[in-house]
């Protein structure tokens, strides 16, 4: 890849079905390294791996609310 702008434009021009749109922006925020979450926190993520390359392609949806 030649530049970060080229990468952002390529990702942003991705076509997906169902009327969905891909948004891509450069995030220049600094993030703290080494933050770990517990197994319980990880298990609470509502994540579904896709059939094709599920290690790269997945959906994260809002957490399911527990009924009381």
The alpha carbons of the chain give a radius of gyration, in whole angstroms, of: 16
Query: What is the pLDDT, as a whole number, of residue 66?
Result: 67
Query: What is the pLDDT, as a whole number, of residue 35?
Result: 93
Q: Count Cα neighbours of 12 within 13 Å in the Cβ-side half-sphere.
A: 10
Q: Where along the chain do its domains lie?
A: 4-26+37-61
Q: What is the pLDDT of residues 15-65, one digit of tens each?
A: 777 777 778 888 889 999 999 999 999 889 999 999 999 888 888 888 767
Measured CA to CA, the distance from residue 59 to residue 11 in angstroms comes to 17
Measured CA to CA, the distance from residue 66 to residue 40 in angstroms comes to 15
pTM of structure? 0.45
């Amino acid at each position: 890849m030649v530049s970060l702008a080229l990468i952002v434009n390529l990702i942003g021009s991705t076509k997906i079905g169902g009327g969905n749109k891909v948004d891509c922006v450069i995030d220049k925020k600094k993030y703290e390294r080494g933050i770990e979450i517990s197994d319980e926190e990880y298990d609470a993520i509502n994540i579904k791996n896709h059939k094709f390359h599920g290690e790269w392609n997945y959906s994260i949806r809002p957490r399911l609310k527990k009924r009381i």
